[in-house]
Amino acid sequence: MTVAEYIAKEFKARGVKYVFGIPGGSSIPYMEEFRNNEIEFILTSNEAAAGIMADVTGRMTGIPGVCHATFGPGATNLSTGIGSAMLDRSPLIALTSVMPENMRKRTAQMNIDHQMLFEPITKATVMINNKNITAVMNDAFELATDEYPGPVHIGLPTDQALKQVTEKTSISTEGSKSNKLLIDDELIELLEYSRKPILALGLTAARAGLCDEIYDFLDKYPVPVIMTPMAKGLVREDHNCYCGVLFHAASDKLSPLINEADLVIGLGYDPVEYNYESWLPDVPLIHFNTVHTDMPEGIMVKQVTGSLEGVLSMIQPALKFKPEWDAGMVSDCRNNIQNLINEVNINFGPFRVLTTLQEYLPRNIILSLDVGSHIHLFGQYWRATPGNLLMTNGWSGMGFSIPAAIAASLNRDEPVACVTGDGGFLMMCGEIVTARRLNLGILFIVLADRELNLIKIKENKQGVANIGVDLYQGDLIGTDSFLGVPVITCSNESMLRESLSSLYPMEGPLILEIIIDPSDYKKLVVT
């Protein structure tokens, strides 16, 4: 078979349903084979969005998401989404058209070295030909899904698509890797003498799906739980052990409890979200993770690497003493954060919007969040379930939430909403057409405050006069449709409630533009 046919059949066999991107002329043979194998090519308005859609597809399904771009500017645009998959730990295969070998080092239109471009933001970058294609595909899927999951770039030379595959198809004979976590005497000693441990959950624990194990552990050994933003949902916000989310709104209220701890147990904690040294008290740290983690100097750390499944049941026998935490202190910590909603919920701002959305939107909704001040509030206060709150924190690229919502809608049969600021909306609003073309029932919520508020807050805290934060004057959309999608504009709570009361079921995309007072952010965002 041809190289293009082989790649399409491999994707189909491995469960790939979509390829996201923008084609070039040299993409046509691959797109035709994708169609022949019932793989849908999702045309995007920007290649960066294609990368983000592939990122979210990979993290939601466990099967590497696939994205594609053509030479030069297509590849550089795609790199934004690829970086997101790299630092948010999502399995992804990135395809780009590249020049044939005899032109690769020459001066030519749109020609840059794609492997040098992608090398820092992928786990590997490789060039295929008709002689290495079977090995490349096997290795790419295995590498993309190995811990940490991440992107692999495959360059597709323009002269290879229609060549016959000459390499014999090989099946990997490598046995499953033994990755069992080992408990040693040093670890047992740290656990045995702890009276006030806290459990810090991270992105890797969320990806491993440890929710049930965590609840079983907390039932028998109730200790305070804190977590990084992308682990939100692993423990319910009303659980007796839940305290709050690090790094996000009002997280400074966690300090009294953190400073009482005599041991921190990090379970799947990934410092790509928030470095340990930014909050860790001067106590020992036991760090359980799937890969070895670089640690700062000067902290007392016992690092244990391996599979996270069953870790909590393995360490429980070493926890000889019942935790001496004052239940009132734990609940006070949680309440001090949660009750701030009532203190600042006066003006029609992001908190009033958040609480109203939580009241009206379906309980099983998947919510994607963009980068900006609002992510700090929603990341702390939105009631999340495992896998239903999508954000970028390791990469933290603005413009994430619109393409993320589109990918979520394609991959899950649940209602989907996107929350973005006006800055993030302006970056990716072209993808509204993608949602319209696919007739996806996504609610695009735009919090319009006319500024880059998070940067404004940081400037104010540094005593710098505001510069480069004002986005526009007047209305953002100012009409009842945008790119053919209906728009509802709300400027007060009664308008918002009326709009939300009759939204579902949705028959297509809708933009909800909410004009807000951003003063809530200044009171709660911790920078």
pLDDT tens, residue by residue, 467-510: 999 999 999 998 999 999 999 999 999 999 999 998 988 999 99
Share of the chain above pLDDT 70, in %: 96
Tokens of 111: 């020609």
- Cβ atoms of 439 and 57 within 8 Å: the answer is no
**The pLDDT value given to residue 172:** 45
The residue-averaged pLDDT of 351-360 equals 94
In CATH terms, the fold of domain 339-524 is: Rossmann fold (3.40.50)
The answer to whether 60 and 27 have CB atoms below 8 angstroms apart is no
Q: Sheet containing 416-421: give its strands across.
A: 389-390, 366-369, 416-421, 442-448, 510-515, 485-490, 481-482
Distance CA 258, CA 285 (A): 12
Average pLDDT of the chain to the nearest whole number: 93
What is the spatial distance between Cα 108 and Cα 356, in angstroms, rounded to a whole number? 55
CA-atom Rg of the chain in angstroms? 24
d(CA 391, CA 158): 35
| Burial status of residue 397 (CB atoms within 10 A of its CB: 0-12, 13-18, 19 or more) | buried
CATH 3.40.50.1220 describes domain 185-337: yes
Cβ contacts of residue 317 below 8 Å, gap of 6+? none
Fold (topology level) of 3-157: Rossmann fold (3.40.50)
What one-letter code names the amino acid at 117?
Answer: L
- So where are the chain's domains? 3-157, 185-337, 339-524
At 344, is the pLDDT very low, low, confident or very high (cuts 50, 70, 90)? low
3-state secondary structure of 27: helix
Asked if domains 185-337 and 339-524 share a fold, the reply is: yes
pLDDT in tens, 175-219: 445 466 677 888 999 999 999 999 999 999 999 999 999 999 999
pLDDT of residue 484: 97
The arrangement of strands across the sheet holding 124-127 comes to 40-43, 18-21, 65-69, 92-98, 151-157, 124-127
Which tokens in the block code for residue 299? Answer: 């902290």
- Which is higher by pLDDT, 317 or 257? 257
Q: Read off the pLDDT of each residue in 303-324 and give the average, rounded to a whole number.
A: 91
CA-CA distances (angstroms) from residue 267 to 210, 387, 404? 10, 17, 26
**CA–CA dist 308, 205 (Å, integer):** 7
Cα 178 from Cα 203, distance rounded (Å): 22
Would you place residue 391 in the very low, low, confident or very high pLDDT band (cuts 50, 70, 90)?
very high
